[in-house]
Structure 1
Amino acid sequence: MEKSKELIYGLNDRPPLRETVFAALQHLLAIFVAIITPPLIISSALKFDLATTGYLVSMSLFVSGLATLIQCRRFGPIGAGLLCIQGTSFSFISPIIGAGMLGMVNHKMNVELGLSYIFSACLVASVVEMVVSRLLPYTRKIITPLVSGIVVTLIGMCLIKAGISSCGGGQTAIDNHTFGSMRYLGLALLVLVSIIFFNRSSNRFLRMASIVLGLLIGCVAAYALKMIDFSTLKGSGGIIIPTIFKYGFRLDLGAVIGLGLIYLVTAVEAYGDITANSLISGEPVEGPVFLKRAQGGVLADGFNSLLAAVFNSFPNSIFAQNNGMIQLTGVASRYVGYFIAGALVLLGLFPVVGRVFSLIPAPVLGGATLLMFGTVAAAGIRIIASTEITRKAVLVMAISFAMGLSVELVPNILDKMPAMIKTIFSSGITTGGLTAIIANALIRIKE
């Protein structure tokens, strides 16, 4: 397939060093906050200490670098061989928090216990996505655009709960009875308005950096309000040596099943991202070359999540926003991905990076994530809108949203259920997603 006329550098071109570095920096700007946000949200929800939070942020950066290298370089059958950037996925946050709650002992979080359950479940469940990569043509008949749209919408809707909780001050504020104070809400609103202001700019660099700038403004305001204490960074020098299975291995079947469903949907999303990336990069989007690339990319998506669990990080997925970056820069060269991967690995090895971002106050993070999660829900609605809304589709959506949101809004409805059932269905994403798959398969209506 001929290189797209809009591209300056194609997939296998090698841009000059200066242009390669510049393109890599723009990609990093688009993904950095998205990579570090999931560990910050999960740590806040499960009340992890600053040192643990910093370590999880560092490992997220480190693993994202390894995952990006695997996707861009392609090792044997693993990898798409495209400029595919991988990072920590938002889709898994809700079931991961549910799995982490297994670490609660006498109403107090045992960090090592909680993380051992999380990473063990993430590792085992990642096999689902790797198996799906071999069965892509068949899984797309089960996970239709309607089902994918419902799940993506539920991901955004369910995560808004975590976002608004952070806006109010998070779990710490709940514990000290300051939750929802004007100081916290005002700070979150400042960040939210700042991001919207920069995002609507006609300057593409301001638009790409809108989240970073919004967080920066929020952190400056928080520092002025004495909500950030840099003295806690003492002793953060040196280099982190990644440790395999740092927190041990403890398995819970319910957590595995809940995460397995998200891996199933993530596989279909990864297929869509690879298709879009191939199209933008001027590569085939059908035929044996594309199928090999798509299967390798989805396989890598699952393998990289397994790798993440081994190195004490959360599941990874392909970042769709980088497809837009390829269009903006006109650079589709996968060699740019090597620079991005190297930068992420280096950032992850220095503990001070993780500790600095762990200092971001919950309301500042909440102001940014509230908009990001709303965007995820909007993306799901767009997927649903792209399908024909028949009577069957309305019924599938109705029962899926009803079941998914019910366990989020009234979680104690599951209190009388067996522990495994409670673990599986405590996440609205899992409950609504399973309902969507089953309802879509079983409901038959003659139009």
Structure 2
Amino acid sequence: MSVRSVTAEQPEKHLPPSPSHFTASSGQHPRGFGDRVKHIKRKVTTRHGWLGDYDYAWLCMPNLPWRRGKQTRTGPPFYALDSDLPVVLAAASGLQHALAMLAGLITPPIIFANALSLDAQTSAYMISASLIGCGILSLVQMSRLRLFGGYYLGTGLISVVGTSFATLSTANAIFNIMYANGTCPSTVADDGTVTRGPCPDAYGMVLGTSLICSFLEIFMSFIPPRILKRIFPPMVTGTVIVMIGASLIGSSGIPNWGGGSNDCMDRPSSGVFRLCPTTLAPRPLPWGSPEFIGLGFLSFVSIILTELFGSPFLKNISIIVGLAVGCIVAGAAGYIDGSTIKTSPAITFLWVHTFKVRVYPPAILPMLAVYISLAMEAIGDITASAEVSRVPVVGEEFDSRIQGGVLSDGIGGFLSALFTVTPLSIFAQNNGVIAITRCANRTAGRFCCFFLILFGVLGKISGVFLAIPNPVLGGVTTFLFASVAVSGIRVLSYNRFTRRERFILASAISFGFGDLLVPTIFTHFFDGVPNPNKGLQGLLDSITIVLSTPFLMSGLVALVLNLILPEEDSDGDDDDVVEGGDDVEAHPHSVEKEISEGSS
């Protein structure tokens, strides 16, 4: 079967397992050392080996209004997991994958650095370490190594990993506790303004706690996938993802859009944070100034215009387009401080800067919950990746991909801590790149990993990312975090929403939205406990972190209620009848539910 024959008009057909795939150039896999040498020679010495027959004009041509009726309706051929890929297409697709996930990779370390008031050199290193770690561990996730007894490591798909957004909300709550109890330094001005001092040790504690908690996800990977999907159905996973996105918009996206998510957001009357991002910036302004909001809005609108008129290539990197347009205007207006670029090293790598890796006991319980959420996200992302890659989404092979992906996710959490990076988990946005480019080939994925490592090694690139003004970053990340919430809404839409499910969702978001809108509600919950010892105080702090983290609290409520509330007989449920006489079969069914039924 030729790879050329599989087009976008046949998405329902699955390709056979990778061992039976044919190459586009020769029709079969090269056998033996001599054949491999000939294959490589043909690859690098012929035009077909470099370019193939891919429609590059379709990939790069903008979607202009007067051309929409003339554009071809058929796309380029579909390149499966192990099919023979032209060198230029593999590199171009890999670069597109890297650029599509770039904004999501640089955002968490920037937010961590801002939350802990770290210096520019440390912040730039954290960005580089994140990029390098993601490139290395993505290679592991794509590998699909057979271990023992039918267990695997990796999915064998283009499953790229990135710094988990789930860690951000939990880490912010952990940092708040550390500053409140004196673990991290802070000063109080005469007018009552609290200024947080640099606290790199807090980041090391998050890394150490993450390292030991990663064994939970490793253990979960050996639980049969069908059981995991029954424990964590779309009702639970969708609620968690929605609250992750919503909480990040409130804690990082919008505050940065207004000028900064640091102490300047409170608009103190004195001190270095009297203006945003600080009074030492090239053009500091009070938080919420129209200039800041306009810069963020420009970046946001650039994303929309790219979606309207951009080529397929640009649509997949619309976030980068928004950052680029915002930075060009901000630079011309004098808002960019280039000192981070000058002070960043030309070449860097892991462990150039290190942190004191220690375990922070109050963070253990929240971090365990984070790894449970990472496993839930991994199951959904692997399912989506398998569908868009046109491989089976039921059966033993698919279950082994789930098992291998969750195991690689857990091991990635362990190794990422050693790489001085917070937990890395599977990213979902690359599925859109596969769908549009019709390239699910792992060679392209390996090029993606190469570009990520290259971006991380070139230290000046991290300095450029760090120089992005807060309003530009805020306008882009608000859209990025909203996309996370929309992904959760999509997962929730898989439910049939009987009375039971509506009750579970209402109960879960009561706590989630309550935490989100009034984040201090549980701050003083244990103030009345008389003279707690150090161990008890650590437990109380741990519970406080869980209570004050929206996605942890809502996910916990949804999980418990889903397990204890009895299932309803939908045949007699009036809620299954909608206006207009449509019966329940018109409603979309859960992909996860169908997979679970097929697997069992």
Q: TM-score, length-normalised on structure 2?
A: 0.71
Q: 1:244-285, CA deviations, whole angstroms, 9 ceiling, x for partnerless residues?
A: 992122222332221222321221221222223223323222
Highest CA radius of gyration, 1 or 2? 2
Pairing partner for 1:187 from 295, 302, 307: 295
Alignment size in residue pairs: 447
Q: Calculate the aligned-residue CA RMSD, in Å.
A: 2.2
Of residues 132, 141, 144 in structure 1, which corresponds to 2:233? 144
Q: Is 2:153 the partner of 1:78?
A: yes
Change (3 A) 1:50 1:172: farther
Give 1:331 shift.
1.9
Code of the residue aligned with 1:429 in structure 2: it is F
Matched, 1:173 2:261: no
CA distance in 2, matches of 1:208, 1:282: 20
1:26-51 per-position Cα deviation (integer Å, ceiling 9, x unaligned): 21221111111121223223332222
Change in Cα spacing, 1:279 to 1:232, as seen in structure 2 (3 Å) is closer
| Equivalent residues of 1:128, 1:263 under 8 A apart | yes
Secondary structure, aligned partner of 1:92: helix
Listed as ranges, the gaps of 5+ residues in structure 1 are none
Structure 2 residue 554 is matched with structure 1 residue 432: yes
Among residues 451, 460, 466, which one is paired with 1:343 in the alignment? 451
> 1:255 touches 1:424 (CA, 8 Å); kept in 2?
no
* TM-score, structure 1 as length reference: 0.94
Separation of aligned partners in 2, 1:16 and 1:378: 35
Q: Counterparts of 1:350 and 1:280 in 2: how far apart (Å)?
A: 32
Q: Which moved more, 1:92-101 or 1:141-150?
A: 92-101
* CA distance, structure 1, for counterparts of residue 164 and residue 239 of structure 2: 17
Partner AA of 2:386 in structure 1? S
AA aligned to 2:257 is C
Amino acid at match of 1:117: M
Distance 2:158 2:553 in 1: 34
The equivalent residue for 1:414 is 522
Written as runs of structure 1 = structure 2, the 5 A alignment for 1:286-435 is: 286-416=394-524, 417=526, 418-435=540-557
Aligned equivalents of 1:74, 1:211: Cα separation in 2:
30
1:127 to 2:207 alignment: no
Are residues 1:98 and 2:173 paired? yes
> Separation in 1 of the partners of 2:229 and 2:81?
27
Change (3 A) 1:420 1:262: closer
Residues 112-121 or 200-209, more deviating = 200-209
Partner Cα distance (1:231, 1:260) in 2 = 39
Secondary structure at 1:414 match in 2: coil
Whether the 8 Å contact between 1:72 and 1:81 is mirrored in structure 2 is yes
How far 1:202 moved relative to its partner? 5.7
Matches of 2:448 and 2:203, distance apart in 1: 28
Q: CA deviation at 1:385?
A: 1.8
Decide whether the 8 Å contact of 2:155 with 2:404 is kept in 1: yes
SS at structure 2 position matched to 1:251: coil
Per the alignment, in what secondary structure is the counterpart of residue 317 of structure 1?
strand
Equivalent-residue separation in structure 2 for 1:203 and 1:282 (angstroms): 24
Task: Report if aligned partners of 2:256, 2:474 keep a CA contact under 8 Å in 1.
Answer: yes
Structure 2 unaligned blocks of 5 or more: 8-76, 188-195, 266-272, 276-285, 527-539, 574-600
The alpha-carbon deviation at position 317 of structure 1 amounts to: 1.7
Q: How do residues 190-229 of structure 1 correspond to structure 2 at under 5 angstroms?
A: 190-201=298-309, 203-229=311-337
- The correspondence of residues 40-59 of structure 1 with structure 2, limited to 5 A, is 40-59=110-129
User: What amino acid is aligned across from residue 425 of structure 2 in structure 1?
Assistant: S
Distance in 1 (CA, whole Å) between partners of 2:206 and 2:353 is: 11
Contact 2:153 2:408 in 1 (8 A): yes
Q: How far does residue 226 in structure 1 lie from its aligned partner after superposition?
A: 1.8
Do the aligned partners of 2:141 and 2:154 also contact (CA within 8 Å) in 1? Answer: yes
Contact persistence 1:187–1:363 (CA under 8 A): yes
Partner residue, 2:81: 11
Q: Is 1:270 aligned to residue 378 of structure 2?
A: yes
User: How far is 1:131 from its partner?
Assistant: 1.6
8 Å Cα contact 2:138/2:161 also seen in 1:
yes
Distance in structure 1 (CA, Å) of the matches to 2:305 and 2:472: 16
Aligned residues with identical type, % of pairs? 34
Which of 84, 87, 97 aligns to 2:162? It is 87
Deviations 1:315-373 (A, max 9, x none): 22222222221222222221222221122112212221212101111111100111111
- Paired residue type of 1:173: C
8 Å contact from structure 2 (residues 116, 198) kept in 1: no
Contact 1:405 1:428 in 2 (8 A): yes
**2:274 is matched by which residue type in structure 1?**
N
Q: Which amino acid aligns with 1:138?
A: I
